[in-house]
Structure 1
Amino acid sequence: LYHAAVHPKSFVSLAGADHLLMDKKDSKYVGEVIAGWSSRYIDIEEDITLATRHNVVASLNNDSLFTTQMRAGNHYFIADEPTSIGGNDFGPNPYELLSSGLAACTVMTIQMYARRKKWLIENVECHVDYDKQHAIDCENCEESSAKIDTFTREIKITGDLDEKQLQRLLQIADKCPVHKTLHSDTQVVTKLVR
């Protein structure tokens, strides 16, 4: 097979794997290697099953556990749940996606502001965790209902900036649109379509 293959090729060894690739890590790795290699030689058509007139669409079949096909704009990806609750862990869970939106919007907003001010930021990172925690200074902290959705955000800025500039950028982080959305009164309008 190696000598008969027409396209450029290389030999990939997978020490310790059986011929049927029964170990999930081995089969996933082989799939990624083959997909990466073959993507150069095939045209992947747009998935019309996820066509939508909206910004985002999610699709989940009955036999897919929690592995959800997603499309946002022109971008396709997978959302999932961890194996500990019955998913395949093939993609981020919904709260990781929400946290990702906050992290991405934060770094974009900081860089946009710094460029406007002509402050050079070599890199900005935003690390986000999501959890339900007791509200600060809550009166009924013993009750589980006193817990609120909490995003913990840590920002690392690499650049030649003084303390005043860094503090200003921290204020700007709180002005990112996703941060504002999470703090605003929001509504989800739902209707059934056929």
Structure 2
Amino acid sequence: MPNIIATAEAENTGEMYTTTLQTNRHTLIADEPLDLGGQDLGPGPGDFLCMALASCMVITLRMYITRKGWEIGRINAKVNLVKSPDTATGANTFYCSVSFSEKLTAEQHGKLCKIAKACPLHRLLNRPSNIITLLE
């Protein structure tokens, strides 16, 4: 059996695009905005992808900061996804911006930049992936 690192289920019951998501003990709602025909009852799939990357970066940074014993309060990560036709390289591009409530030293700045880029989802999204879809 492969080492499953995350899992999610999605169910749509016919109420347009509103979809119930289940992962472990958590239930969330995904939808599309009104201008795309949804009811805007939850984030869209692309938003969830950006939220996953942003949260992974912040959690990874917090783990490192805690281990170092640094006094850094708020960490904020903003992630924007630009689809390939809209980028110069022709690749889907995540633009990530991380800020802190405290002023960082030059050493902290350099190390935290490396740590943010080393979060598990950052590494995962920077590598090619395979998606295997089976219809049951």
Instruction: Decide: shared fold, TM above 0.5.
Output: yes
User: What amino acid sits opposite 1:159 in the alignment?
Assistant: E
Q: Shift in Å at residue 72 of structure 1? A: 1.3
The answer to whether the 8 Å contact 1:120/1:160 transfers is no
CA distance in 2, matches of 1:161, 1:119: 10
What RMSD, in angstroms, separates the aligned Cα atoms of the two structures? 1.4
CA distance in 1, matches of 2:25, 2:33: 26
User: What amino acid sits opposite 1:79 in the alignment?
Assistant: A
Query: Aligned residue for 2:100?
Result: 157
Query: Aligned residue for 1:166?
Result: 109
Query: Aligned residue for 2:10?
Result: 58
SS of structure 2 residue aligned to 1:148: coil
Query: Aligned residue for 1:45?
Result: none
Query: Aligned residue for 1:90?
Result: 41
User: What amino acid sits opposite 1:134 in the alignment?
Assistant: A
Query: Aligned residue for 1:178?
Result: 121
Identity %: 33
Could you say which structure has the greater relative contact order, defined with CA pairs below 8 angstroms and 6 or more residues apart?
Answer: 2
SS of structure 1 residue aligned to 2:41: coil
Query: Aligned residue for 2:54?
Result: 103
Q: Shift in Å at residue 160 of structure 1? A: 5.1
Query: Aligned residue for 1:79?
Result: 30
The answer to whether the 8 Å contact 1:66/1:81 transfers is yes
Using the TM superposition, name which of 179-188 and 100-109 deviates more: 179-188
Structure 2 length as normaliser, TM-score?
0.88
CA distance in 1, matches of 2:111, 2:34: 41
The answer to whether the 8 Å contact 1:67/1:87 transfers is yes
CA distance in 2, matches of 1:116, 1:189: 38
SS of structure 2 residue aligned to 1:88: coil
Equivalent pairs counted in the alignment come to 128
Query: Aligned residue for 2:131?
Result: 188
Cα displacement string for residues 27-70 of structure 1 (whole angstroms, at most 9, x for unaligned residues):
xxxxxxxxxxxxxxxxxxxxxxxxxxx821100122x1111111
Cα displacement string for residues 78-125 of structure 1 (whole angstroms, at most 9, x for unaligned residues):
000011010001000000000000000000011111111111211100
Gaps of 5+ in 1: 1-53, 136-146
**Mapped pair 1:126 → 2:80:** no
CA distance in 2, matches of 1:157, 1:168: 14
